[in-house]
Amino acid sequence: MTASDRSRAGDAERLPRDPQPRALRAIEGDWPRTTRPLPWCLAGFLAMLWLLPFDSISLPVSLPLDAKLDRPFLLAIVAVWVLSLTLISGGGRLRMGPIHYAFAGFVLIAILSLAHNAETVVRLGEMELGVRKLALLLSYFTLFVVVASSVRASEVRPFMTFMCGLAVMMALGTIWEYRSEFNVFFEWTSKVIPVQLPGELYVYDSIGRQSVIGPTIHPLAPAMMMACALPYALVSMFNSQDVPRRLVWAAAAAIMVAAALATQRKTSILAPTAAVLVLVAYRPRMLRQLVPAAAVLFVVVHLVTPGALGGVTEQLLPQNLFGVSSTIDRQSDYSAIQPDVVNQPLLGRGYETYDQKKYRILDNQYLTTIIGTGIAGILAYLSIFAAIFLLAHRVARNGKGERVPIAMAIAAATVAMVLGSALLDLLALPQLPYLICFFAGFTAVLWRELAAETATSPAALRGRGAGRAQGPIPATR
């Protein structure tokens, strides 16, 4: 073996490896044409996120956390994942990356904040709340690790398409709830499993807005979920070569927008707008399709959800934006939490120990985070989104094929989540952090594949071989 061959072999050993041997991959196939149980478990979990009111279903079992439907489901997924690691791949699938470190940093700061304020938190009777929330945060981290280590790069696109299909189904149910005041998700599920009806169901708020919640517990959740699914529908429409497929994706996007507006929350316009701006920044040519599509969308939304668009845009008018009770309450939050932030600026008073049912509802994840974990927690929280966005951006700029539109869509959804964190308590609505975990896992998979291809390209290998071959110049006699 020549020195160059040995150099290339050494480089290959240090690269991120495929989750499974190539021969095994060929036999088992990619999801959905596969017999591997783990991708099907993850697909089932996605279906639960979009179609079932899982956070309103309490199971008659004893668990360290609240016995909601998602907890045993996640435990089963982790069990299948551990068996897959130990029996099939021998632990070779777990690879750390920037998102792993960012996520782990946030978890570490959450633990330190509770440990640092343990005496005070126990005296206030809020340690149990903090521990439960910390356990939930660890479950989010675990789901991300499972997705990042078990999904293949070739399976990301089917998973994203499947997610959009689920989003359309949820959107149709949400639109029906807006028009008929009948929530199919809660009503039909309650016929099979006992469901605790949330307080937001079938009510109107102080400014006369109908509470449309879909399978969640608050209208802001479906609004944000549609904003996260919309970018992939738009890039798929833009990249479709045949007209029928393009029309299908356009219809899917229109239904998602209509469902978001049906919640009658300002977030239903602000978050999707931020996502669309990111897509346009990547592909300015998309404006050629988006401008005429917006006119058609305007008509569709009026037909499907009459009065929703006008109701939301009216809330955004200057005379209404700062005068309604929801905005006034948000403005008063800043002065109300100032003493808590000033007393513990670095690590806060303890992760999620600020009981909003006891003190005040903040509707702002940044305020909740800075109270609980201080400045360190805010930076760690933002680092997760920064890592997802930067890796997705790298794939969007340097990738090829179907990975590019997927990365663009994830980058756009990430920006929508960053904006949404200022408009709602994002971690209090479990559908949203679970979606972040899936997007983060998909991004890690695409980035790992891009890094492997870049490192094994002929130009890169020639450069490494030349660098090693040169070395110091031997002395001459």
Q: Look at phi and psi of residue 348 and say left if phi exceeds 0, alpha if psi is from -120 to 50, else beta.
A: left
The residue among 277, 311, 268 whose CA lies nearest residue 420 is: 268
In a domain, 19, yes or no: no
In a domain, 476, yes or no: no
DSSP, res 18: P
- Residue 170 has a pLDDT of 98
Which range of residues forms the domain containing residue 117? 30-457
In a domain, 21, yes or no: no
- Residue 354 has a pLDDT of 86
Cβ atoms of residues 454 and 385 within 8 Å: no
In a domain, 16, yes or no: no
In a domain, 404, yes or no: yes
Give whole-number Cα distances, 148 to 36, 39, 153, 209, in Å: 16, 11, 10, 40
Q: How many structural domains is the chain composed of?
A: 1
- Residue 383 has a pLDDT of 97
The residue among 178, 182, 237 whose CA lies nearest residue 209 is: 178
- Residue 115 has a pLDDT of 94
In a domain, 445, yes or no: yes
- Residue 411 has a pLDDT of 98
In a domain, 6, yes or no: no
Walking along the chain (477 residues) 10 residues at a time, the average pLDDT comes out as 47 45 59 93 97 88 71 93 75 77 97 92 88 93 95 95 97 96 94 89 84 94 96 93 90 94 93 95 87 82 87 77 58 72 88 83 89 95 97 93 94 97 93 97 95 73 54 41
In a domain, 463, yes or no: no
Residue type, 36: R
